[in-house]
Amino acid sequence: MGDLLSMGWNLALCIGVGLTLGVLLDKWLDTRPWGILIFLLLGVAAGFVNLFRTAIRLGEKDDGAGSTTNENRGDDDG
């Protein structure tokens, strides 16, 4: 349950960090809007990568429990 709750926060945090780094880099190098665009896109990409990794990990946990249950059911029928 904790993994599911953290997925949204993780996505938002990655986007926020990317945006913040982009803004700070643009102020420092005076390259507006390129830093914001690049780091915002990197933050979105990192957020979705983490989201997919968590979803896959949770799916593997569910598949592992389901296959054990199905195997036990097959043994009981025979």
Question: What does each of the 78 residues of the chain score in pLDDT, given as a tens digit?
Answer: 788 888 999 999 999 999 999 999 999 999 999 999 999 999 999 999 999 999 999 888 888 765 555 555 555 555
Q: Is residue 74 part of a domain?
A: no
CB atoms within 10 A of CB 7: 17
Q: Is residue 62 part of a domain?
A: yes
With a CB cutoff of 8 Å and minimum separation 6, the contacts of 15 are: 40, 43, 44, 47
How far is the C-alpha of 17 from the C-alpha of 6, rounded, in Å? 16
- pTM for the model stands at 0.76
Domain count, the chain: 1
- pLDDT score, position 56: 93
Q: Is residue 76 part of a domain?
A: no
Q: Is residue 77 part of a domain?
A: no
Q: Is residue 78 part of a domain?
A: no
CB atoms within 10 A of CB 69: 9
Q: Is residue 52 part of a domain?
A: yes
- pLDDT score, position 30: 95
- pLDDT score, position 61: 83
Domain containing residue 37: 2-69
